Chain A
């Protein structure tokens, strides 16, 4: 049998994010569904499964695009130090309320 790899995502409850659960080998979509159900749903632990042929996934792992060589700290929320500003603002608000 020619097997293909199918990536399986599961959702625990309605509204929860779909989280990668793992993968199964199966020759076609129909058996992939059965196997995904057995591997990631037979204990009643999943509300929904997504079964995706691995070749249908567009992969991006180019370090030039994902880990560029320049400092990117200014693109992270942590790049702005607001801790002290926040404390000062709280104090100001407290003293205004006390007046």
Chain B
């Protein structure tokens, strides 16, 4: 059992860094995509809610980047804004552009449910700072998930158009959503040291068992799907565009402090 990162061997440290970066990048990128709704969400109140949730996700990413920076003697802002697009480790689910409202709702639902499974495991991590942070994040994510649930139900019960768009979005995102549980480099070391209490494979199975009974009545049977090896390495033009957007301010004045 590793109480603090200093007693970890190199393999485990590197694996922990990989884990922190993958979770942080997921939160960071979904936060940025959802912030694209600011000003154009379906109604004013929803605009404020969506923007606020997007901001929460970026806040979670920041806290995780700070843990990572401490571990690797780096700087959180540099990790967030100073990396090339190829160095990001978000799951393929976050490669899709904002799309229509149904796509954003479908993605948030898939992500929040998977994230809840992951946070439960992280809250029991032997790396105390991560366990504490995951516990705090979980309190806020509970509300995010309620919000995503509410919208999933609204769209699925609210008439043919909403249901149709939601079904299209769920079918499109389903394969890439699996990659939230893509195997991590050094995962064996993570599980061995108790840094990660459950394997990605086990979490993936738990998540599927939870969401299939909710989603299949809406969109019909979903194909069998498993996380892919390169699930956190694939990049799209959509992501390249977003990366250009979120690095443009930091890139305009290097070494500026905010």
What is the interface of chain A, defined by CB distance below 8 A to chain B? 1, 3, 24-27, 30-31, 34-35, 37-39, 42
Contact = CB atoms under 8 A, between A and B. Distances in A.
B220 interface: no
21 contacts: A1-B42, A1-B43, A25-B45, A26-B45, A30-B150, A31-B150, A31-B154, A34-B49, A34-B143, A34-B146, A34-B147, A34-B150, A35-B45, A35-B46, A35-B48, A37-B143, A38-B48, A38-B49, A38-B52, A39-B48, A42-B52
A3 B52 CA distance: 21
B88 to A, nearest CB: 28
Nearest to A26: B45
Contacts of B42: 1
Given A30-B150, A34-B147, A34-B150, A25 B48 contact: no
Interface residues of B, number: 13
Interface string B134-157: 000000000100110010001000
Interface in B141-194: 143, 146-147, 150, 154
Contacts of A39: 45, 48
Interface string B21-46: 00000000000000000000011111
Taking chain B's interface residues, is the majority helix, strand, or loop, or is none over half, making it mixed? helix
Nearest to A31: B150
A45 to B, nearest CB: 14
B143 A3 contact: no
Interface in B37-84: 42-46, 48-49, 52
B150 A35 contact: no
Contacts of A26: 45
Which 5 A/B pairs are nearest by Cβ-Cβ distance?
Answer: A35-B45, A38-B49, A30-B150, A38-B48, A38-B52
B4 to A, nearest CB: 30
Contacts of B43: 1, 3, 25
Given A31-B46, A31-B154, A35-B46, 11 more contacts: A3-B43, A25-B45, A27-B154, A30-B150, A34-B49, A34-B146, A34-B150, A35-B45, A35-B49, A37-B143, A38-B45
Contacts of B52: 38, 42
Nearest to A25: B45
Interface string B189-228: 0000000000000000000000000000000000000000
